[in-house]
Chains A and B, each alone.
Chain A
Amino acid sequence: MKMKTMLLATLILAGMSTFASAQTLRWARAGDALTLDPHAQNEGPTTALIHQIMEPLIIRDMTGAPVPALATEWGPSEEDPNVWWFKLREGVKFHDGAEFDSEDVVFSFERAMTPDSDYKELLSSVTEVRANGKYGFEIVTDGPNPIMPSNLTNLFIMDKDWAEANGAVKVQDYEGGEDTFASRNANGTGPYSLVSRETDAQTVLTINEDYWGMDEFPMQVKEIIYTPIQNQATRVAALLSGEVDFIQDVPVQDLARVNDTDGLQVITAEQNRVIFFGMNQGDADLTTDNVEGANPLADLRVRQAINMSINREAIQQVVMRGQSIPAGVIMPPFVNGWTAELDAVPANDIDAAKALMSEAGYGDGFSIRLNCPNDRYINDEAICQAAVGMLAQIGITIQLEALPKAQHFPLLGNLETDFYMLGWGVPTYDSEYIFNFLVHTKGEKFGSWNATRFSDPELDVKIQALASETDLEKRNQMIAEIWAVVQAEQVYIPIHHQVLNWGMSDSVGTIVDPEDTPKFKYFEFAS
């Protein structure tokens, strides 16, 4: 690496390098934000960018713990169990100088509850939001909602007057292809303000000198230049050659190279996302297998055999190069309801699996198609390929179909797959979120991502009851009971929890955010 240092030195001397001042952070990741309208799209890269510019009432810090942002204190009302109260921060100003108060909060919440908003589901239990003086705010729900604060950590506050002056009162109808002032401009209370933005090319942010937290947070990054770079090899090359300071998605195979390069480091942390396989266990016959008149996956023993045949340690060691945590349950460890017992890694036992297959009448195996995304999760296609080899050992022949996410996810939505890969993150940090989408019978309001055809009406009743159960102890008991059924029925085959790898210049100091959302106000900058 000596040669590299010399080269680096020559580069700087030659003055040709793109190194900007030490306080500028050049940030790259695979995808760009979709819009700047804070309520139009609830999507990772979009919220990550908006988090630098605008703030919610409550924010998750870089460890994932909820901490005060625009609200300083909050709690459930003692008089009325259906009300949450919030005390707002005083003396905060928007980037354009306007003052922040409860009027803006009421406006933003009402805006986020309109039909075009992508956050309306998170506020579906809200019946009214009201100001309580200039710095007081209350949310009224249709029943007690014990986890309301967790739903608010990405709910950004806009300035009412700015929105009215710029025709941005209505949420951008993103799906309808609407172009609004707010989708390309932003006025927030956040630590950075928008300088310029060209979609998919470059976005520049500069520090907000009047930020309320100037003394509370490091605030050492003065300018942010954000560039999406899609091609994996190009992105790594940009970091290795010093053209960017921070990339959010280092491919696992390049971690060592980045770490060994002088001036660069990789930091890792467990992500709030679990990867697993789902199986069609409800239909009487499958269309994608070679078994006539029966559904092999409907047999619990077959599902258990599949579970045993997956060598999670080998996937972790080879495919993920150590950058994953083998899982026994489809729930990230941050989530309320998680226990080490549930997440114990199932034993990899080919003989026992074969015995179960014979018992179920599939001693000679069968063949089935496995659907995988190839551009969604870390090494998704390679994991599926590895599973093909493992399942072959118990006689299951797999036709692997790896597709871009735009073609993969509709297969789940339209129930056109019998065996598929899916990943799930839990923004609310509570099991209810998983049950609602993945365990409840598929229907209009619930189970929209449950493509397993698993359906248990008794369980459905229990899942729906979680929403309004205020006795936390009883609620946790219910959660444990539901998990017990999910595990016993082997509804899903958990693979692992994803690990995030952030690659960056040595001079950057930070920890990894479990939701993959860097908040640059926490970043430190040496030199």
Chain B
Amino acid sequence: MRGFSFTNTISRAWKSDFMWSFRRTPVAIVSFFVAMILILGAVFAPLFAPYNPFDPATLNLMNGFSQPMVPNQFTGDSFWLGADDQGRDVFSTILYGLRISLFVGFAAVAFAMVLGVTLGLVAGYVGGWIGALIMRIADVQLTFPGILVAMLVFGIAKGFTPIEQRDEMAIWVLVIAIGLSEWVQFARVVRGATMVEKNKEYVQAAHLNGRRPISIMVRHILPNVLGPVLVIATISLALAIIAEATLSFLGVGAPPTQPSLGTLIRIGQGFMFSGEWWILLFPAVTLLTLALSVNLLGDWLRDVLNPKLR
């Protein structure tokens, strides 16, 4: 994690080394395509999924616990990956659940990134008491385990959300809670890099030319820290997806009528001893595949964007 303070830019890497390395790394290629398949499957879920599990009027409770590929004894319906305890098609539910998990993951990372990069830039460039304050806030943030942050945000949000919007709120609460617990990583790295860059000649020169600090930060410093930011973002995405699942276990997750992957796993683990393995296994394998491919991509990105390790 040290050594994020290097200088090559994304664009430079993209043109030369980046694609070359990608083509030469089978793990990266496989991970990339697996992740893309899952993401596309989620985005176009309504096209691929045979059922819409989020529409309660289409559900038939009697389909509950149908085995994979075996017609249900009451209704005669058959499901590729079986049906869950509410008679929802597991395959469709996974696709729709993946949508929520990915949305939460991407949105949380975007939130963490914007917050972290901004605060990191300010702390590094401006320094002084503002910088100290920001880094102290980062300390406070680190003090609070993400789980507790989520519960707190959840509770507060509930006090302020109109009753009709509670369902949508749950998703945004997850985004904010997970984002809040991950911005510190971005801030610390960006701050460190900024402090190094700040004293370089070209920045000094821009400063002497009368450029405003904001412009300097955005035009000159930001491009230089994008590499490590991208690496952290990828790893954070995997973390966010797992965090969402963990929060669902503690009951602070997506609503049961619109389950995420994590909610599906929480529901499925109740059926582990009872022989309905498909309710747990398929969502768990999907989550594992997704997190694993994102993690592997992050690993590869770190290697390729960190010339010292190549």
Please report whether the interface of chain B is mostly helix, strand, loop or mixed according to DSSP: loop
Per-residue 0/1 for B48-66: is the Cβ within 8 Å of any A Cβ (1 yes, 0 no)? 0000000111011110110
Q: Does B270 contact A (CB under 8 A)?
A: yes
Distance (Å) between the CB of A481 and the closest chain B CB? Answer: 36
What is the interface size of chain A, counting residues whose CB is below 8 A from a CB of the partner? 39
Distance (Å) between the CB of A357 and the closest chain B CB? Answer: 14
- Across the interface, name the chain A residue whose C-beta is closest to B255: A400
Distance (Å) between the CB of B254 and the closest chain A CB? Answer: 11
Q: Does B257 contact A (CB under 8 A)?
A: yes
Distance (Å) between the CB of A348 and the closest chain B CB? Answer: 11
Q: Does A311 contact B (CB under 8 A)?
A: yes
- Across the interface, name the chain B residue whose C-beta is closest to A314: B61
Residues from chain B with Cβ under 8 Å of A318 in the complex? 61-62, 64-65, 85, 87
A393 touches B57 (CB 8 A): yes
- Which has the most chain A C-beta neighbours within 10 Å: B56, B62, B87, B256? B56
* Among listed B12-20, B34-42, B115-123, B163-171, interface-contacting one: B163-171
Query: Given A386-B86, A402-B256, are A288 and B274 neighbors across the interface (CB < 8 Å)?
Result: no
Distance (Å) between the CB of B287 and the closest chain A CB? Answer: 18
- Across the interface, name the chain B residue whose C-beta is closest to A372: B256
Q: Does B27 contact A (CB under 8 A)?
A: no
- Across the interface, name the chain A residue whose C-beta is closest to B257: A400
Distance (Å) between the CB of A417 and the closest chain B CB? Answer: 10
Per-residue 0/1 for A261-305: is the Cβ within 8 Å of any B Cβ (1 yes, 0 no)? 000000000000000000000000001101000000000000000
Q: Does B271 contact A (CB under 8 A)?
A: yes
User: How many angstroms between the C-alpha atoms of A315 and B271 in the bound complex?
Assistant: 17
Q: Does A72 contact B (CB under 8 A)?
A: no
Residues from chain B with Cβ under 8 Å of A315 in the complex? 61
Q: Does A331 contact B (CB under 8 A)?
A: no
B163 touches A319 (CB 8 A): no
Q: Does B307 contact A (CB under 8 A)?
A: no
A233 touches B61 (CB 8 A): no
User: How many angstroms between the C-alpha atoms of A458 and B56 in the bound complex?
Assistant: 41
Distance (Å) between the CB of B154 and the closest chain A CB? Answer: 11
Distance (Å) between the CB of A16 and the closest chain B CB? Answer: 23
- Across the interface, name the chain B residue whose C-beta is closest to A237: B273
Q: Does B275 contact A (CB under 8 A)?
A: yes
Per-residue 0/1 for B278-289: is the Cβ within 8 Å of any A Cβ (1 yes, 0 no)? 000000000000
Q: Does B137 contact A (CB under 8 A)?
A: no
Q: Does A24 contact B (CB under 8 A)?
A: no
- Across the interface, name the chain B residue whose C-beta is closest to A260: B275
Residues from chain A with Cβ under 8 Å of B46 in the complex? none
User: How many angstroms between the C-alpha atoms of A389 and B55 in the bound complex?
Assistant: 8
Contact check: which of B61, B164, B272 meets A390 at CB < 8 Å? B61
Q: Does A392 contact B (CB under 8 A)?
A: yes
User: How many angstroms between the C-alpha atoms of A319 and B85 in the bound complex?
Assistant: 7
Contact check: which of A311, A374, A375, A391 meets B61 at CB < 8 Å? A311
Q: Does A477 contact B (CB under 8 A)?
A: no
Q: Does A240 contact B (CB under 8 A)?
A: yes
A253 touches B274 (CB 8 A): yes
User: How many angstroms between the C-alpha atoms of A401 and B87 in the bound complex?
Assistant: 20
User: How many angstroms between the C-alpha atoms of A375 and B87 in the bound complex?
Assistant: 22
Residues from chain B with Cβ under 8 Å of A402 in the complex? 255-256
- Across the interface, name the chain B residue whose C-beta is closest to A398: B56
B85 touches A388 (CB 8 A): no
Query: Given A236-B273, A240-B273, A382-B85, are A400 and B256 neighbors across the interface (CB < 8 Å)?
Result: yes
Distance (Å) between the CB of B75 and the closest chain A CB? Answer: 11
User: How many angstroms between the C-alpha atoms of A402 and B60 in the bound complex?
Assistant: 21
Contact check: which of A288, A389, A391 meets B163 at CB < 8 Å? A288
A404 touches B251 (CB 8 A): yes
B61 touches A389 (CB 8 A): yes
Residues from chain A with Cβ under 8 Å of B61 in the complex? 311, 314-315, 318-319, 386, 389-390
Query: Given A254-B273, A381-B256, A386-B86, are A399 and B166 neighbors across the interface (CB < 8 Å)?
Result: yes
Residues from chain B with Cβ under 8 Å of A388 in the complex? 56, 257
A401 touches B274 (CB 8 A): no
User: How many angstroms between the C-alpha atoms of A399 and B255 in the bound complex?
Assistant: 9
User: How many angstroms between the C-alpha atoms of A314 and B167 in the bound complex?
Assistant: 26
Q: Does A230 contact B (CB under 8 A)?
A: no
Distance (Å) between the CB of B196 and the closest chain A CB? Answer: 48
- Which has the most chain B C-beta neighbours within 10 Å: A232, A253, A369? A253
Query: Given A251-B270, A319-B64, A382-B85, are A374 and B251 neighbors across the interface (CB < 8 Å)?
Result: yes
Per-residue 0/1 for A375-399: is the Cβ within 8 Å of any B Cβ (1 yes, 0 no)? 1000001100110111111000111
Residues from chain B with Cβ under 8 Å of A233 in the complex? 269-270, 272-273
Per-residue 0/1 for B257-278: is the Cβ within 8 Å of any A Cβ (1 yes, 0 no)? 1000000000001111111100
Residues from chain B with Cβ under 8 Å of A392 in the complex? 55-57, 59
User: How many angstroms between the C-alpha atoms of A400 and B256 in the bound complex?
Assistant: 8
Distance (Å) between the CB of B250 and the closest chain A CB? Answer: 10
Query: Given A381-B256, A398-B56, are A232 and B166 neighbors across the interface (CB < 8 Å)?
Result: no
User: How many angstroms between the C-alpha atoms of A498 and B56 in the bound complex?
Assistant: 25
A389 touches B59 (CB 8 A): yes
Q: Does A257 contact B (CB under 8 A)?
A: yes
Residues from chain A with Cβ under 8 Å of B85 in the complex? 253, 318-319, 382
Residues from chain A with Cβ under 8 Å of B86 in the complex? 382, 385-386, 389
Distance (Å) between the CB of A259 and the closest chain B CB? Answer: 11
Residues of B that sit less than 8 Å from A by CB: 55-57, 59-62, 64-65, 85-87, 163-164, 166-167, 251, 255-257, 269-276
- A-B residue pairs in contact (CB < 8 Å), sample of 30: A233-B269, A251-B274, A253-B270, A253-B276, A254-B274, A257-B274, A257-B275, A287-B163, A311-B61, A314-B61, A314-B62, A317-B62, A318-B65, A319-B61, A319-B64, A369-B163, A369-B166, A385-B86, A385-B256, A385-B257, A386-B61, A386-B86, A388-B257, A389-B59, A389-B61, A390-B61, A393-B57, A397-B56, A399-B167, A402-B256
Given contacts A386-B61, A389-B56, A389-B59, 19 further A-B contacts (CB under 8 A): A233-B269, A233-B273, A251-B274, A253-B271, A253-B274, A254-B273, A288-B164, A311-B61, A315-B61, A318-B65, A318-B87, A319-B85, A374-B251, A385-B86, A388-B257, A392-B55, A399-B166, A400-B255, A402-B255
